[in-house]
Amino acid sequence: MSTVSPTSPLHWPRTLFARLALILVVGLALAQTFSFLLTMHERDESMTTMMTGYVEREVASSVALLDHLPPDERAQWLPRLGRRSYEFILGPGVTDASGAPPDAALSARFARAMGAGIGKRYPLTINAVPGDKERFQVHLKLSDGSPLTIDMRPVVGMPLSGWLPLVLTLQLIVLGACCWLAVRLATGPLKRLAKAADTLGPDLKAERLPESGPEEVARAAKAFNAMQDRVSMYMTQRMQILAAITHDLQTPITRMRLRVDVMDDESTGAKLQQDLKEMESLVKEGVTYARTLHGTNEAPRRIEADALIESIVDDYLDAGQSVTLSGSIGGALMAPPQALKRVVGNLVDNAIKYAGAAEIEVATRDGRAVISVLDRGPGIPEESLEAVFEPFVRLEDSRNRQTGGTGLGLAIARQLTLAMDASLTLHHREGGGLEARIVIKKAT
């Protein structure tokens, strides 16, 4: 099956709505056009058949009348016997083209009708008139030998009524409107399904689809709602298991720390204290990650983004850390402030841990706030830029156990940004280092 290449001049619309509407409108318009053309052709054929039969009878009667009239009275009857499509001439007519047959289909058809009507009694010669392909003359002699010419000018087709183009235009408009309505009704449920899937965040509290409408739409809505319930149940179970394990680990860790404190061997006790400290950090991060699997319980509210970022930078400067800020958002954000503060804090902590300093750049692009945390650290391989957002993932070559960390910081940050309807991505910097970019909608 052939496909349209990206460089082909034929480009389909991107949306299913536009594609279906285009196919239906063009198809129905072509069908309507072909139907109109066939109707017009059939009408012309019917009218031509009727006219040839009429001309055959009328011309035969007129020739018979002229043949019975005295020669001196024939001239005054010619205007009475003539019609719009033919007239009688007492004479030989155009004789220089005598014998040349008519070269148009309509003229040839009338010529055959004339021959069938009067050719049996009066010998005929038929020739076309030079310069006019739809005009021909029929030559014959009456009983007394007088020449008679029938000058034929067949009428081509039937004139269109003035209201017919308007009716055709109205028909096309009605067809287009019906196609638009039908496609909208057909693609509306798909659009609602896609919107529900897009708004299904980590908290799994998206608005349920109405289970009404046509049978196929209702079944799809029921299936989506059931899937949402199952995923929510599975996620809740995972969160409960992880939270229970990490919470229960805190008690034995506390007892082990108390026992280490009373050990006589200080060297061994210090090593055990360090191990217990790492275990406790891992447990706390595990509890935090389990809670963020379902988003955050903090309600979003209107916050001044520039003031929030400045307060984060001031906290790091007060702690003696090298953190700089540039740019401004110049507006408010609708987000949970503590969750946003934690995300930015996690990214700054990573930059300080692996590069010794952090740079924060803020800006507004296309109606969205962009918060970038940059460093000049060892960076991350291209193939691992997404993998580091998975829980418990650490890159041993660059960010190993000796540098600290549990492998949950970026996973927590990603879960919190998803709960805020924002995005968090990592990018390489020119000259080395890493950029962590948060893109979030501005408040209206």
- Which of 290, 309, 341 represents a domain boundary (last residue)? 290
Does 6 map to a domain?
no
| Residue 7 confidence (pLDDT) | 47
> The tokens of 407 are what?
């492998």
**Average pLDDT value for the chain:** 77
Strand-pair partners of 88: 150
How many domains does the chain fold into? 3
Evaluate if residue 3 carries a pLDDT over 50. Answer: no
Domain final residue pick, 290, 310, 332: 290
Across 51-59, average pLDDT? 73
Say how far apart CA 354 and CA 315 lie, in whole Å: 19
Identify whether residues 286 and 323 lie together within a single domain.
no
Q: pLDDT at position 6, please?
A: 46
Residue 317 has a pLDDT of 92
Residues 280 and 306 both lie in one domain = no
pLDDT in tens, 232-249: 777 777 777 777 777 777
Strand pairing class (323-327; 358-365): parallel
CATH code for the domain of 236:
1.10.287.130
| Residue 23 confidence (pLDDT) | 80
- Burial class of residue 186 (count of CB atoms within 10 Å of its CB; 0-12, 13-18, 19+): middle
Determine the average pLDDT of the residues in 60-75: 84
**10 Å Cβ neighbour count for 406?**
21
pLDDT, one tens digit per residue, over 285-331 is: 666 666 665 555 677 888 898 999 999 999 999 999 999 999 998 88
Residue 51 domain flag: yes
Which CATH number do you get for residue 44?
3.30.450.300
Mean pLDDT of 32-39: 80
pTM given for the model: 0.47
* 1 confidence band (pLDDT: 50, 70, 90): very low
Q: Is the pLDDT of residue 348 over 80?
A: yes
Query: For 410, how many CA atoms within 13 A lie in the half-sphere containing its CB?
Result: 23
Q: Has residue 4 been placed in a domain?
A: no
pLDDT confidence of residue 372: 94
Q: What is the pLDDT of residues 264-295, one digit of tens each?
A: 777 777 778 777 777 777 777 666 666 665 55
Q: 122 in a domain, yes or no?
A: yes
